[in-house]
Amino acid sequence: MKLSPDTLKRLADAGLDPAKLPRHIAIIMDGNGRWAQERGKERVHGHLQGVQSVRSTIEECCRLGIEQLTLYCFSTENWKRPQAEIEFLMGLLKEYLIREREEIMRENIRFTVIGRRDGLADYVLAEMDENIRVSAKNTGMTLCLAINYSGRIELVDAVRHIVAEKSPADTIDEETISNALYTAGMPEPDLLIRTAGEMRISNFLLWQI
């Protein structure tokens, strides 16, 4: 992707070489609820603020010519949260998918999702699928949302796929496994970021990183 003169100047001012920027950035979005609680507000307020941070991050990655951005939005472990918070997050996700559709098309973003569909509400799946459909021919940055995702479950699903294909044991190698993952065909992350100061990887892209 060709960078604008303004972007090139900003990179130069920051001492960054455009040729050395990561192709694929993966982010574990964490700490929204704690951020709100520390300020005496309900956790849902933090999630609302998090949506604004997501938009800013996506816009900046587009400007920098990043090839792919993968955001850890909802893990399989998140189902253990209070039901009211889960329902709020699902509603927020639906609203986000609808509201950002125009921006996705304007920025020429290709939208995709990784994770299991089981358990997600039909109204969320419908908006996910619509964003995937309308953006399928876009040629800009790939925006990948990890929703109902677990790195271990991804590996389990990959093994099940390989077994179902009846692949001979002596032909199974790293490429075989990579091609059976949800992320098949995607570049591996060059940079993993976790917000809120935590150092754990929380079952995210275990094979890929």
Q: Which of 30, 32, 131, 148 is catalytic?
A: 30
Taking the C-alpha atoms of residue 169 and residue 56, their distance in angstroms, rounded to an integer, is 46
Sequence letter at residue 9: K
Burial letters for 24-62: b for 16+ Cβ neighbours within 10 Å, e otherwise? Answer: bbbbbbbbbbebbeeeeeebbbbbeebeeebeebbeebb
The rounded distance, in Å, linking the Cα atoms of 130 and 56 is 23
170 included as an active-site residue: no
Cα angle vertex 12, ends 55, 110, to 5°? 30
Which is catalytic among the residues 13, 17, 78, 129?
A: 78
Helix/strand/coil percent split, the chain, to 5: 50, 15, 35
Active site residue 78: yes
Sequence-ordered list of residues with C-beta below 8 angstroms from that of 128, at least 6 positions apart, any chain:
97, 113, 120, 145, 147
What does the alpha-carbon distance between residue 137 and residue 107 come to, in Å, rounded to a whole number? 12
Active site residues: 30, 78
